[in-house]
Structure 1
Amino acid sequence: DERIILDPGIGFGKSVEDNLELINRLDEIRALGFPVLLGPSRKSFIGYTLDLPPDQRVEGTAAAVAVGITRGADIVRVHDVEVMTRVARMTDALVRRRA
């Protein structure tokens, strides 16, 4: 069991609405008792929502990462590692009271 990580598969065969709902309901997936991985980086649901190409989706990715952590994501997979590390650390400090 310690080698199991749940990945809801953001962006794979889902509508924009499905992806937004999955992120908002990560707490339900987390309740299954396994770490949750979230990989929203530059995904098309961000592009569709913000009407931006992949290379301009950093802020949208940051928002998805922050909300994902708030909803229970333990691991995030991203392209812009340095920026998203800061986003994740700050969100984690605010939500889970760790620096």
Structure 2
Amino acid sequence: MYDKGQMVTAKITNITPFGAFCELQNASGLIHISEFSDFFVRDIKDFVNIGDSVEVEVLDFDPNKKQVKLSYKSCRPELLKKNNNQIQETGSGFQPLRDKLSSLTDK
């Protein structure tokens, strides 16, 4: 009924501290909190509210239980760290403690 990687529309029916429950055609779904963003998620309500219809990706489907595991972030590249331009290494990050100490003793 649902294939891994398939994009579907789900209606948010309940929000808990660990995820959002959804209603799909002939199945129920869960978007775990870790599937909202690669970045820290304090409150799922920053992303969805009860009654919202959202596009999500199917991660797994159990046909016996008619339950679907879903991902919100996979449909939104800006929520993935690998696609986020705000996180860039500049080369000036932390120095090893050994280097820092030697620069202090040279003075």
Query: For the superposition of Structure 1 and Structure 2, which TM-score range results when normalised by the shorter chain?
Result: under 0.3
Higher strand share: 2
- Relative to total residues, which structure has the larger helix share, 1 or 2? 1
Highest CA radius of gyration, 1 or 2?
A: 2
TM-score by length of 1: 0.23
TM-score (norm 2): 0.22
